[in-house]
Amino acid sequence: MPLSFYLSAAHKSSGKTVISLGLCAAFKQKSLNVQTFKKGPDYIDPIWLSKASGNPCYNLDFYNMTDNEIIQLYQNQSLNSDIDIIEGNKGLFDGMSVAGGDANADLAKLLMTPVILVIDSTGITRGVAPLLSGYQVFDKEINIAGVILNKVASERHESKLIQAINYYTDIPVLGCIRRSKALIIDERHLGLIPVNETPQSQTFIKKVTNIITDQVDLNTLVDFNCIKSNKKIINTYTNINTIKEKIIIAIAKDAVFNFYYQDDLDKFESLGVKIKYFDTLKDNNLPICDGLFIGGGFPEMQLEALNANQSLLVDIKTKIEQDLPTYVECGGLMYLTNSITHNKKTYSMMGVIDADTYMMSKPVGRGYVELEPTDKHCWAGVSKHIYAHEFHYSKLKNISSNTRYAFNVLRGVGVNNKFDGIMKYNLLASYTHLHNVANNAWVIQFVNFINKVKKQEL
């Protein structure tokens, strides 16, 4: 059985991700096969974790996955790993429900994984003891196996913290990481800057790795007796079968569009779909394909370059207008509108969707959503209630009055607080990020739609 631990904290922005990156790369340097997981609907942290570990990172989310789905995904992706690192979101006990059940602590218990608590020690000394004691007492089923003290100011500060923890608790201190500008990743409105936008990302990870190796007791971490869950796995995808006819799906994956759930991409391939990745900044034409998928990202950061690649804009628009089955999310939706305005500058985009995108200074839609399909939805077999998420600082204006929508928004914002999923030709464009789970098998629905269109063309 591989070793495993859950990296959590008392609150968000404690430095979990940077420490996770350093641990991943440090264990990788020891020739260990590291598998990472991220709790919740996060795209950016998993991209960084994948870069550091050398393996794709997978999301585990109580909101749209059952307990058995979470266990199944976790165990399946851990089969060949030497060590698993699960990075939490926010604080150890933070979740949607005041009664618990969906917090990091609950995920750690579900997966029977010991917790390593990262504590931002800024401005605290003896007070760290009641904080840790309180966390132990709050839920005695949680195994807080160690603590890593982050942003330690000095040797004297470190000594006071360790003395307090050793005197009042039985939690071992696994590391004391000094405050350093070298451990800071620039942030944007959704969190860290994506690794695909950071040219020196590998250099940064190397610096972090050296610091973590020097200031964290890796040998103690590896010595943990972390036994995996023996819970019975239930097949939650019995409704999904391998497709009979080979189809090709083109997927944008580059410095702009890189927000994809890894298990969604895996599901396409498990169905026998051939994926052709393309670069919206460099490629002049869309690959030969039967369907198109453009996920989320930050197109507002590359507007000039996207606009300059007119040949690809025209080619994609032409193919969509010729009824190429297409699904786009968030950043992909923005890319297909008439224009995007950011920092008082407007750039023309594809013009498939008759609306204009405006970047706002505050979040427009941020968090979990609940959707129900309208009777106009073009895919078959869509669930009556879809649980997913949205994260966007943009909004659409000048939307055509003839716009058709695939979803009613029961929770969240979507396109206009009432609807999401703009439909035109064989296009579905949504602000919502879908996750292929038992209650929302969108991958097979999209693949079946592609096959239906192909048959109609014969």
pLDDT tens across 143-169, in order? 999 999 999 999 999 999 999 999 999
Q: What is the pLDDT of residue 204?
A: 86
Q: What is the pLDDT of residue 140?
A: 93
DSSP H or E segment with residue 263: helix 262-270
In this structure, the dihedral spanned by the alpha carbons of residues 364, 369, 372 and 378, taken in order and rounded to 10 degrees, is 70
The percent of residues above 70 in pLDDT, for the chain, comes to 91
Q: What is the pLDDT of residue 225?
A: 47
Q: Output 232 or 307, whichever has higher pLDDT.
A: 307
Is 50 exceeded by the pLDDT of residue 454? yes
Cα separation values, 85 from 18, 109, 194, 415, Å: 13, 15, 20, 36
Radius of gyration of the chain (CA): 23
d(CA 199, CA 190): 19
Confidence grade of residue 6 (pLDDT, cut at 50, 70, 90): very high
Q: Output 36 or 226, whichever has higher pLDDT.
A: 36
Is 60 exceeded by the pLDDT of residue 174? yes
What architecture is the 248-457 domain classified under in CATH?
A: 3-Layer(aba) Sandwich (3.40)
Q: What is the pLDDT of residue 1?
A: 58
Confidence grade of residue 202 (pLDDT, cut at 50, 70, 90): confident
Which pTM value belongs to this model? Answer: 0.91
Average pLDDT, the chain: 91
**Which SS3 state, helix, strand or coil, does residue 330 take?**
coil
Confidence grade of residue 242 (pLDDT, cut at 50, 70, 90): low
d(CA 77, CA 252): 24
Calculate mean pLDDT across residues 279-290. Answer: 97
Return the structure tokens found at 422: 């703009």
Is 70 exceeded by the pLDDT of residue 71? yes
> For the chain, what are the domain ranges?
3-222, 248-457
d(CA 286, CA 428): 18
Q: What is the pLDDT of residue 184?
A: 74
Of the listed 24, 57, 176, 330, which one is catalytic? 330
Q: What is the pLDDT of residue 244?
A: 57
Return the structure tokens found at 225: 């007796």
3-222 maps to CATH 3.40.50.300: yes
Q: What is the pLDDT of residue 94?
A: 94
Confidence grade of residue 457 (pLDDT, cut at 50, 70, 90): confident
Calculate mean pLDDT across residues 304-313. Answer: 98
57 is catalytic: no
Cα separation values, 383 from 267, 288, 408, 409, Å: 18, 31, 13, 14
Q: What is the pLDDT of residue 191?
A: 47
Q: Which residues contact 143 (CB under 8 A, 6 or more apart)?
A: 108, 114, 115
Confidence grade of residue 41 (pLDDT, cut at 50, 70, 90): very high
Q: What is the pLDDT of residue 111?
A: 96
Q: Tens of pLDDT along 91-149?
A: 999 999 999 999 999 999 999 999 999 999 999 999 999 999 999 999 999 999 999 99
Cα separation values, 353 from 24, 322, 401, 417, Å: 42, 14, 12, 18
Confidence grade of residue 194 (pLDDT, cut at 50, 70, 90): low
Is 80 exceeded by the pLDDT of residue 234? no
Q: What is the pLDDT of residue 228?
A: 40
Is 80 exceeded by the pLDDT of residue 232? no
3-222 and 248-457 have identical folds: yes
Q: What is the pLDDT of residue 241?
A: 52
Confidence grade of residue 229 (pLDDT, cut at 50, 70, 90): very low
Q: Tens of pLDDT along 375-425?
A: 999 999 999 999 999 999 999 999 999 999 999 999 999 999 999 999 999
